[in-house]
Amino acid sequence: MASFDTSDGLSLYYEDTGHGPALLCLAGLTRNCRDFDHVAPHLAGCRVIRMDYRGRGDSAYDADFRNYSIPREAGDALELLDHLGLERAVILGTSRGGLIAMALAMIAPARLSGVILNDIGPVIEPAGLARILDRLGRPPEARSLEDAAHALARDNAAKFPGVPLDRWREEARARYRKGPGGLVLRYDPHLRDAVAAAGADSSAADAPDPWALFDALRPLPLGVIRGANSDILSAETLRQMQLRHPDMVSATVPDRGHVPFLDEPPTLGVIRAVTDAVKARGG
């Protein structure tokens, strides 16, 4: 558990455990290091590095919300690798983390030894994106972590059937913390402004082609995990990804929406396939 200062002076929190090929875990848009608590015990033989993006988890908030962007966060990931003296790493990227991985494949391919995308691809389904934007930056209505856990269980029952309440209690602790007047988000609410600004910019003529970003992964060992009930990564997009990257290892995880927890057996199979391929290449 440590922190480092970025080139623009922000303190970012990270965790660095284990030994072996480096596996840099990058969480979803509003999430943090805790998203990888359940997969970490299954990653023996890897050096597992997790980073809280700026404005999330235990990292400092940025006074300029425009820095909550994929290019800046990709730069932060490279600066963390530099700080740790690592030439390259496998990226395990959940949602936003997968988009950052694709950006890195385009701008700094030599720093990547492999990529695992968790429920994300070049096409983000509009319904899922609208769902995320509707909740982004809004404090929870629940007044306690226990109430929040029950709300998460209720709201996710259709896409995550059978998940025990204890898991939702852990999710609640990862997403929220106690504040003076109730629960508060574990991220800067101004992230909503950043995403809105990025959405406006994405319509520009010079915006990067998302399929070109995905194609930049072609030289690397690649795995993709999809929740069977995902409203972000469709089965058709996954099929197109497989056609463009025939060596890609993929799995669709039953009873999971956006995003799988990463400790499901099909998920672990994809992670092991990619890390084994990286080790066979010499790490």
Residue whose token pair is 């943090």: 32
For residue 195, which of 107, 92, 73, 93 has the smallest C-alpha distance?
A: 73
pLDDT of 205 reads 56
Instruction: Tell me the pLDDT tens digit for each residue of 108-127.
Output: 999 999 999 999 999 999 99
Residue 200 clears pLDDT 90, i.e. is over it: no
Average pLDDT, the chain: 95
Query: What is the rounded CA–CA span in Å between residue 213 and residue 160?
Result: 30
Residue 246 clears pLDDT 90, i.e. is over it: yes
For residue 194, which of 67, 282, 109 has the smallest C-alpha distance?
A: 67
Query: What is the rounded CA–CA span in Å between residue 272 and residue 111?
Result: 20
Cβ contact 69:196 at 8 Å: no
Residue whose token pair is 């890609």: 248
Residue 3 clears pLDDT 60, i.e. is over it: yes
Domains and CATH numbers, the chain: 2-134+207-280 (3.40.50.1820)
pLDDT of 180 reads 87
Residue 202 clears pLDDT 70, i.e. is over it: no
Residue 222 clears pLDDT 60, i.e. is over it: yes
pTM of the model: 0.96
